[in-house]
Structure 1
Amino acid sequence: MIGIFFIGVYALFILVAVFLPFLIFRKRAKNYKKKRTILSLIIISIPFFVYAFERTLYEWECSNNILFYPENKLDRPLSIAYSGHISKGSRAYRKSNGKNLLNVFHDFSFEYIVSIDGEENFKLINKEKIIEPLMNSEVFPYELRDITNHERENVLNSTKYIVYDSVEYKFNMILITIYIYDFKNDKVISAVSRVSHSKGQDIINILYHYEFGRCSKIEAKYGPVEELLSKTFK
């Protein structure tokens, strides 16, 4: 059904390219045949110009992808804050070898992960504004168990790294940059970016239905966050 719709849309597009010049340039117009031909070619070439523009922009953004991390891996901290989605309570855990283990970052684990709320760019706000949401965050131990308030407080006070991302939308692209930020020293220690190109569902994107996929300077088995963590920490 979708294929028939696409064929119908393109057939209509060709009909417009053929008949619209006839409606605009009548026989009494000077050089009407030449003008009709030029206008038809312009209309027919519109999809190619759109494709070329988006492809050029996509390749340009891909060439500007970033990837950096410490030359020497840092000691893995006991805890790290993460602004991404973590399911609440026991739903954040999975069964593995008879144990309920935290299902975040796949096989790259920390003793604790702090689920910090907020979609802000933590690098652009001061330390004081980070402390409040951090101290109100939920703490997940690697293995499902209850933790005391004292243990939670110690974890939050010792946490210094935040994993967060920034998202930018440009035409049919999503530009995502993932950061590991040492907020106590006000320093981004690692970052990787990725460009994803996909078409939406409006009429223009249905008419020009193509996708370029995604590009990044990092090849990740599970995801760019896990790969960046493994390149940053021992």
Structure 2
Amino acid sequence: MKDLKTHLSILLIDDHPIVLKAYRDALDYTTRQKGWTFDITEARNSNEALRHLERISPVYQIDLVFLDIQLPPSDNGTVISGDDLGLKIRQRSPQTRIAVLTTYNDPYRIHCILQNLQPEGFIVKNDLEGDEMFFIIRNIMCNPPYHSATVSQALRSVISGPVLDKVDRRLLYELSQGATLEQVEKVVPLGRSGIIKRKNKLKFKFGIPDGDDKALLKVAREKGFI
């Protein structure tokens, strides 16, 4: 186990003010009960989060990010969900620990996030209690990974499932926005035939090989991929 660091710089990323307040309250409780101190910064959307990432330098470091996966896309189109933002955090600041927080409880969706992002912490929001914050942060920083009860259960129940990469998620997002094949070609660098093949692979992954695009989007939404 690594040496315990009791003063941390934390970035909270969530588009719901009430959730951000709950995180702050839990961190305040940890300070009162355990004596840990935190420099807390908030980002309420992908745009604000990207600006914070641009500030990272030798004199401005982020120890831990609490990342909501269900974020709206950024204005510049480089981020379509928290998955993409997490990958950008990895690229920009490899030493920063990432704690994913989400309401998703579909085992396949959880499995996909773990495979793509490999966060040091993964918590389903309904599992989070304020008095557990100290235990969660300590494990994320010193002995990762930390998985909440629902995530641990999902890991036990999923042997194999649809793992989607960035191109898959971009394709699903564009289709969900009503983009035509010609429009998708401009942002998904596969060419027309490649896009069609990728859609067919997605349908196969989701168990609807003969389904149309509407059926594909329905299943993807149910599983939390869009």
**Structure 2 length normalisation: TM-score?**
0.22
**Structure 1 length normalisation: TM-score?**
0.21
Rg comparison, structure with higher value? 1
Greater strand fraction, Structure 1 or Structure 2: 1
Q: Which structure would you say has the larger RCO, counting Cα contacts within 8 Å and 6 or more residues apart? A: 1
